[in-house]
Amino acid sequence: MSKRTALVVLSALVVCIAVTALWVVWINGRGEAPVRPRPASMPGADAALIARGAYLARAGNCIGCHTARGGAPYAGGRPIETPFGDIYASNLTPDVGAGLGAWSADEFWRALHHGRARDGRLLYPAFPYPNYTRIDRADADALFAYLQSLPAVAQANRPHALGFPFGTQAALAVWRALYFRPSSHTDDPARSPAWNRGAYLVEGLGHCNACHSARNALGATAGPLDLQGGLIPVQNWYAPSLAAPHEAGVADWPAAEVVRLLKTGISSRGFVMGPMSEVVGSATQHLHDADLAAITDYLQALPPSPATRPPVDAVAARSERGAALYRDHCADCHGDRGQGVPDAYPALDGSRTVTMASTTNLVRIVLEGGFPPSTAGNPRPFGMPPFATVLSDADLAELLSHLRGAWGHRAAAVSALAVARARSGSGR
Amino acid sequence: MKAASRRLGRILAGTLLVVAAAAGAAPFSDSMAQRVLACTGCHGPQGRAAADGYYPRLAGKPAGYLFNQLLNFRDGRRPYRLMSELLAPLDDAYLKAIAEHFAGLELPYPAPAGAALPDDRLRTAVRLVRRGDPARSLPACASCHGEAMTGIAPFVPGLLGLPPDYLNAQLGAWRAGKRQAQAPDCMAAIARALAPDEIAALSSWLAAQPVPQPARAAAAFATPPPIPCGGVAESAAPPAATGR
């Protein structure tokens, strides 16, 4: 290669990089209206607006991430664990130094809609602004009014613990150029008002797909409309597909049971456990019946996908040992035929948690036990004991494989290795 | 005819009883005992040793103490993942009901399993339990845990009827900051002031004491507690952070 060709190639490369960089910068700031700073004196918002904001904050479960375990509400500090490192949720109380005390309504709107902080920094999408971008301005203002009405807590934000290059603004700008566009919710006139309200809540404020969607190697989902299920990174719970009939689709449920599940944590078709227990306990149980019905409308109308269950190569074999383990450890509560006890213990016969392709939740629930949430509609839920200290990996695999072949179930066996992995992955 | 059918009824009822007994299953009841099978599975009726450590007895401990421990696990002051995750979805009102359920159970204690102590260790333990060490501002154990060491209602637990390994582990965890209580954390200060051999002596002595029957906690402090304890003073009000 002559010197001249090398120079040409090099120049072309430099131009390419420069153009890409300019595109990344441009796309990250595109469509942002100038923000007005906070006025020197901000009049207090009226009580109705604050109450509406409080309701919306519930719907978005803001408190869930923005409160450390045992910490002051909304003062931040909870680590959001990601494969790229820990992101610490920020202080949303109106403390001037540590929280949102110096923010204006415009700046708050820009954070939700464009994912940009008051000082201009780009925000990490662990704060689900790919969903919140669909929240409308009036709701954003109500949320802001509510957060500004909270008692100020002077708890400084903890710096994120992200590995290089994920901790840099440049990496974040590239991520956003690839995966984030500000957008908004527009009603579909072909659908009912309830469906549209459901879409607004599920795709936006509720950020359901932050869990119920698979993430790629860079942590991006296929977008707020994708509810096809995914493993929650690091937490290692599988958030089942809300569209697939063999996972957590609710198209064939009585609508009232979907509402009951979201309102109380239990239903005749299944109970919530794990992270969804937190969601029902601190968010959905507080929603108005009309909003729960709207969410139900939307979820029941999701196109079933994939409509048919993936074929199973070999259905798990029932076994004497598995049946004996079931009799000794499970049948007292779940019944000798897996029929459960209404409102206390879920039926295992026909349970999708038992038969789902992903056995992550099934293994974890048996290892760690758990409760559905205490809610106004079910204040004293019945609990499941942890069996981590009782059953060996081999016994647990035997038991679960038996259940996955029993009562007409047609799911694959669970290996002792899968149980061992779950045990070590959850720190025991 | 009537007599025959009555006899048949009795036989049938008897058969049903036998069948139920053979199955060994307590029938479902809409009760707290049924709800907290998630707890007794590990803790057993009187505490239970397992491969990964000792699950202490819950029955008969003071309700306020149990409630505080449930809050401490749920809110991260006592780090044990299995407990924290289990309690995460439960609100304060339910945790209080669970604490009251276990506090209300009266079950006998097993005979102490401790071995005899050498004289010097025995003297150390009795001195700390009865008099403390004023030179190090160490109050007597009995000044808070009760003259009979069976606790003071509703917040201070009794220290008898627990295995020495469990007591050692708790005092060690307090020394190392792995177990915490509401501030001011009096037991952390006490555990840090104790020497390791004193902890060992105390644990062995406590575990060797017979438990009075019934092992009820004293109703109230006879004299005010010698040092301030967050778990005793303020724990009646649940922390604002996590109530919903």
**Alpha-carbon gap, residue B94 to A374, rounded angstroms:** 7
Domain boundary among A147, A179, A211: A179
**Predicted pLDDT at B216:** 86
CA distance A277 to chain B (A): 6
Give the nearest partner residue to B241 out of A73, A374, A388, using CB atoms. A73
At B1 the pLDDT is: 45
- For residue B242, list chain A residues with Cβ-Cβ distance below 8 A: 67, 70
Which residue would you say has higher pLDDT here, A162 or B213? A162
Which residues, given as ranges, of chain A have pLDDT below 50? 427-428
Residue B54: the pLDDT is 83
Is residue B70 a contact partner of residue B98, using CB atoms and an 8 Å limit?
Answer: yes
CA–CA gap between residue A103 and residue A345 (Å, rounded): 47
- Whether B82 sits inside 8 A of A386 (CB atoms) is yes
- Calculate mean pLDDT across residues B164-187: 91
- CB of A207 closer than 8 Å to CB of A279: no
* Interfacial residues of A (vs B; Cβ cutoff 8 Å): 67-73, 265, 277-278, 280-282, 331-333, 341, 344, 368-374, 379-390, 426-428
Pairing relationship of beta strands A238-239 and A230-231 according to DSSP bridges: antiparallel
State how far Cα A23 lies from the chain centre: 31
Give the pair of three-digit tokens for residue A299. Answer: 């979820």
B35–chain A Cβ distance below 8 A for any pair: yes
Q: What is the mean pLDDT of chain B?
A: 84
Q: Is the pLDDT of residue B41 over 60?
A: yes
A383 min Cα distance to partner chain B (Å): 5
Domain boundary among A271, A300, A329: A300
Task: Report the distance separating Cα B11 and Cα A189, nearest Å.
Answer: 70
Domain match, A220 and A291 both: yes
pLDDT confidence bin for B168, thresholds 50/70/90 = very high
Question: Rounded to the nearest 5 degrees, what angle is found at the Cα of B113, between the Cα atoms of B192 and B80?
Answer: 45
Report how far apart, in Å, the C-alpha atoms of A149 and of each of A95, A101, B171, B243 are: 11, 10, 43, 19
Whether the per-residue pLDDT at B81 is higher than 80: the answer is yes
> Structural domain of residue A91, as residue ranges?
44-179
The answer to whether B241 contacts A388, with C-beta atoms less than 8 Å apart, is: no
Q: Is residue A276 a contact partner of residue A262, using CB atoms and an 8 Å limit?
A: no
Task: Look at B89 and A69 and tell me if their CB atoms are within 8 Å.
Answer: no
Task: Supply the pLDDT for residue B237.
Answer: 35
Residue B20 pLDDT: 40
pLDDT for the residue numbered B231: 87
Query: What is the model's pLDDT at position A261?
Result: 98
Domain count, chain A: 3
Q: Nearest chain B Cα to A423, which residue?
A: B82
Q: Looking at the structure, do residues A172 and A229 belong to the same domain, yes or no?
A: no
A81, A165: one domain: yes
Query: Given this model, what pLDDT does residue B25 score?
Result: 57
Supply the pLDDT for residue B14.
44
Chain B residues near residue A387 by CB distance under 8 angstroms: 41
| Diameter over CA atoms, chain A | 83
Q: Which of A22-26, B11-15, B32-36 has the lowest mean pLDDT?
A: B11-15
Q: Which residues of B touch A381 (CB under 8 A)?
A: 35, 89-90, 94
The answer to whether residue A25 sits within a structural domain is no
ipTM: 0.91
For residues A331 and A284, state if they share a domain.
Answer: no
The answer to whether the CB of A114 falls within 8 A of the CB of A182 is yes
A217 and A326 part of one domain:
no
| Domains of chain B with bracketed CATH | 32-233 (1.10.760.10)
Provide, as residue numbers in chain B, all residues whose Cβ is less than 8 Å from the Cβ of A278. Answer: 88-89
Asked if A389 contacts B54 with a C-beta cutoff of 8 angstroms, the reply is no
Beta strands in B32-149 (DSSP E): 48-50, 53-55
| A29 assigned to some structural domain | no
**pLDDT band, residue B6 (cuts 50/70/90):** low
> A71 contacts in B (CB within 8 Å)?
241
Residue A22 falls within a domain, yes or no? no
Q: How far is A11 from chain B (nearest CA, A)?
A: 56
